[in-house]
Amino acid sequence: MVLEGEGKMVSATEECVGPMRLTQEPIQVLLVFAKEDGQSDAFWWACDRAGFRCNIARTPESAVECFLDKNHEIVVIDGRHSQYFEAEAVCRLVRATKPSEHTVLLAIVPQTPLDQEEPSVRPLLCAGFSRRYVENISVSACYNELLQIEHGEVRCQFKLRACNSVFTALDHCQEAVEITSEDHVIQYVNPAFEHMMGYHKGELIGKELTELPKSDKNRADLLDTINTCIKKGKEWQGIYYARRKSGDSIQQHVKITPVIGQGGKIRHFVSIKRPHSDNNKQVQKINRDGDHSQSESHSLRHRDRRKESVDARSISSRSSDAPSLQNRRYSSVARIHSMTIEAPITKVINIINAAQESSPVSVADALDRVLEILRTTELYSPQLASKEDDPHTNDLVGGLMSDGLRSLSGNEYVFSKSTLPNMSQLAIPVTLNDIPPAIAEMLDDEDQWDFNILELEAATCMRPLTYLGLKIFARFSVCEFLSCSEATLRCWLQVIEANYHASNSYHNSTHAADVLHATAYFLRKEKVKGSLDQLDEVAALIAATVHDVDHPGRTNSFLCNAGSELAILYNDTAVLESHHAALAFQLTVRDIKSNIFKNIDRTQFRTLRQAIIDMVLATEMTRHFEHVNKFANSINKPMAAIEESSSNSEGSDNEGPASIRNSPENRLLIKRMMIKCADVANPCRPLELCIEWAGRISEEYFSQTDEEKREALPVVMPVFDRNTCSIPKSQISFIDYFITDMFDAWDAFASLPGLMEHLSENYKYWKGLDDMKCKSLRPPSPP
């Protein structure tokens, strides 16, 4: 007899396997208990609480019958009373069925008396059980056990089942697919690959690529070029000659994609191959149909050997009975090549293509590499050596400058948005004149670079942003510019500060206040002040205030890997920065009491809003080197050249440098550079502040690594493991890679000798600790 009871109905959940999103119905649980007792009731109610569907079977026969009908994800078998049935025998019966391959079997075992040794789980595992549960009739204990199984074994089994559909697709794919391990051992080939190469998969799987015969038609250094590219985690595609089993060489278009796996390392390489011979015919046909000249035909054939030309010109139907479709495709491709719309980079590429035609092979190959570099989207990002050279730098770059798409996980991190505060719940703000004397005295020094923001944090009970904001905004006449009252500004500052997470060790309102202080300090510098108008100044102060509002204490890479709501909303691109900017305006306009923009006209608001958004987005690190290089090339170098020229000429004025600084494009670069430097100015603060900020950001990264390991997510920055990390090394890498060049450029413009002196001293401090092999913030105390 089978007793069936349905738990509370819940909606189907979704699980991700790579980019594939699959729907999972509510989990089904089968309880195999010979009689009803406290333990069976506890699991029944635990299933009900979890929203799982539950069946109960009283005999081994009915258990197998029910399992074959429902295909449960979890089967719980009572192993406490052998007089009714043997739990191991029931387990073997279930395991003998085909659907049990992806099922978790849980054995209920009696508690062991304190004076007896714990029995081994090996017999249970050998019988086919996945795990055991020691008798405990607490509903919460059973509920926790079921949740752990769901989030562990069940999800893993679900992903394994989903993989069958992926391999089915690969088996029917018309392109040849080969999957190898990180050591280039063949692990999978599809039937199309077997047909193309003439091998049976049994002859290939388990062999290293080096064991297979190679064609002698490839360039001597081609394999080295390919390996160098894919070992960096970059995709390679191009033309390659492979040798079939018969000994013939076949020209293929090959795309090799590294697959990042556990630990953020390359675990597999996926190669997609298709014959290339038909492509040349298509190119020649296009040339004939288009009545091109002989030289143009030669040019197309020459460019066709390069990877960028293949996809555009090798469109061919796989079916021979579709001539009209082929003709339409030929016509479309021909029209594409007759287009005259060209971007500057396209013109550069065309010039290089033309130069290749009359160049020796060695020069043409070198220009090929130039084209490969020009086609990357990361023209301004330095390429690092292998991870082993400097893991701290590589992890910082990977964590701060990528969108985290190393390897998506099925685990979902749902971002907990701060509740928007109700204005009636906010404390009545004080006026600037009513600030407590101790705080007012601290704020008297806010115009000094050595201002101690951490003392203000303590004195204001973690509300430094409101107090410092009132003082700085008054100094820059922000209320007068916006035509808003001081009460509106106070309310706005409190709303913004309330939406920073005080629980974050680093990205909290104290960091925002620190960035606001640095921005105000920079705005008072002569060249900066002379380059910007008041709207720029107001936009910069507001952007600094809101630039990290509602920051979760996790990086963009983490949110993308976890499939967070924000990452989905912003398409894995500048996720946090987009959220900060959007939320800042939502918070501002939602209540008239805190809307500092309510009295300015539409045109001025749009200009101000655009400037604020642009500055907040500039704090995103993926474009760090682009911003720094543009600033250096558009402002530093032209100004230096003009100043040098002026020094050699009598009677020259300073109109030249001013005109460079004041152009709209360069004012934009100055504002971006200013907030970027303010955002990461910690290494340029006095040593004690530098040390404290280093500890705070390290703790935040440690916490992220802890959660990544806990949730089985890719670890974005493995060196930030709280048990092994060297904080001095991480600071040295951060200064070397991100800070030095940027502040050199900013100092050359704004003249900041005090900051550069702090930077030098702090760098020496971290180097000293590293030389001592000290991994902590401070040197060990003397014995």
The pLDDT value recorded for residue 396 is 65
Token pair 């013939």 is found at: 248
Separation CA 25–CA 53 (nearest Å): 10
Per the model's pLDDT, the better-predicted residue between 661 and 141 turns out to be 141
90-94, 200-204, 469-473: segment of lowest average pLDDT: 200-204
Average pLDDT over residues 692-697: 97
The pLDDT value recorded for residue 459 is 93
| Banded pLDDT at 362 (limits 50, 70, 90) | confident
The pLDDT value recorded for residue 339 is 42
Range list of H helices, 596-752: 602-618, 624-631, 637-647, 655-662, 664-679, 687-710, 727-734, 740-750
Per the model's pLDDT, the better-predicted residue between 590 and 644 turns out to be 590
Per the model's pLDDT, the better-predicted residue between 480 and 401 turns out to be 480
164-178, 649-663, 749-763: segment of lowest average pLDDT: 649-663
Per the model's pLDDT, the better-predicted residue between 408 and 490 turns out to be 490
Asked if the model's pLDDT at residue 11 lies above 70, the reply is: no
The pLDDT value recorded for residue 778 is 94
> 35-47: per-residue pLDDT in tens?
999 999 999 999 9
Average pLDDT of the residues of the chain: 82
| Banded pLDDT at 504 (limits 50, 70, 90) | very high
Residue 509 marked in a binding site: yes
Per the model's pLDDT, the better-predicted residue between 642 and 440 turns out to be 440
> 67-110: per-residue pLDDT in tens?
999 889 999 999 998 888 999 999 999 999 988 888 999 999 99
Helix 486-498 to helix 575-589 angle (10° resolution) is 140
| Banded pLDDT at 381 (limits 50, 70, 90) | low
| Banded pLDDT at 18 (limits 50, 70, 90) | low
> Cα 281 to chain center, whole Å?
42
Token pair 């907030």 is found at: 675
Separation CA 31–CA 41 (nearest Å): 10
The enclosing H or E element of 435 equals none
Residue 770 marked in a binding site: no
| Banded pLDDT at 5 (limits 50, 70, 90) | very low
Residue 508 marked in a binding site: yes
Residue 200 marked in a binding site: no
Q: State yes or no: is 507 an active-site residue.
A: yes
DSSP 249: E
Residue 510 marked in a binding site: yes
Token pair 């054939």 is found at: 301
Catalytic annotation, pick one of 253, 507, 580, 624:
507
Q: Evaluate if pTM is beyond 0.85.
A: no
Q: Residues near 341 by Cβ (< 8 Å), separated by ≥ 6?
A: none
Separation CA 561–CA 705 (nearest Å): 13
Q: Could you give the C-alpha distances from 107 to 102, 151, 521, in angstroms and in order?
A: 16, 18, 67
Task: Name the burial class of residue 433, with classes exposed (0-12), middle (13-18) and buried (19+) by CB atoms within 10 angstroms of its CB.
Answer: exposed
354-358, 406-410, 486-490, 672-676: segment of lowest average pLDDT: 406-410
How many Cβ atoms are within 10 Å of 421's Cβ, its own excluded? 16
Which of 473, 543, 556, 545 lies closest to 509 in space, CA to CA?
Answer: 545
Q: Residues near 657 by Cβ (< 8 Å), separated by ≥ 6?
A: 639, 642, 643
Token pair 């029209």 is found at: 335
445, two tokens: 């020094």
Average pLDDT over residues 626-637: 90
Asked if the model's pLDDT at residue 637 lies above 80, the reply is: yes
| Banded pLDDT at 298 (limits 50, 70, 90) | very low
Q: Could you give the C-alpha distances from 319 to 273, 274, 276, 325, 503, in angstroms and in order?
A: 18, 15, 16, 10, 62
3-class secondary structure, 529 = helix
Strand partners, 21: 16
| Banded pLDDT at 429 (limits 50, 70, 90) | very low
Residue 337 marked in a binding site: no
Asked if the model's pLDDT at residue 413 lies above 80, the reply is: no
Helix 753-771 to helix 727-734 angle (10° resolution) is 140
The pLDDT value recorded for residue 750 is 95
Asked if the model's pLDDT at residue 472 lies above 60, the reply is: yes
Average pLDDT over residues 559-568: 95
The pLDDT value recorded for residue 166 is 82
| Banded pLDDT at 399 (limits 50, 70, 90) | low
> 508-533: per-residue pLDDT in tens?
999 999 999 999 999 999 999 999 99
The pLDDT value recorded for residue 143 is 93
How many Cβ atoms are within 10 Å of 644's Cβ, its own excluded? 10
| Banded pLDDT at 581 (limits 50, 70, 90) | very high
Asked if the model's pLDDT at residue 283 lies above 50, the reply is: no
639 neighbors 749 (Cβ within 8 angstroms): yes
The pLDDT value recorded for residue 272 is 93
Asked if the model's pLDDT at residue 542 lies above 90, the reply is: yes
| Banded pLDDT at 401 (limits 50, 70, 90) | low
3-class secondary structure, 161 = helix
How many Cβ atoms are within 10 Å of 303's Cβ, its own excluded? 18
Asked if the model's pLDDT at residue 227 lies above 70, the reply is: yes
Separation CA 494–CA 490 (nearest Å): 6
| Banded pLDDT at 699 (limits 50, 70, 90) | very high
Separation CA 575–CA 568 (nearest Å): 9
The pLDDT value recorded for residue 388 is 46
Residue 679 marked in a binding site: yes
Q: Residues near 330 by Cβ (< 8 Å), separated by ≥ 6?
A: 282, 285, 286, 289, 315
Asked if the model's pLDDT at residue 58 lies above 80, the reply is: yes
The pLDDT value recorded for residue 340 is 43
Largest CA distance in the chain: 110
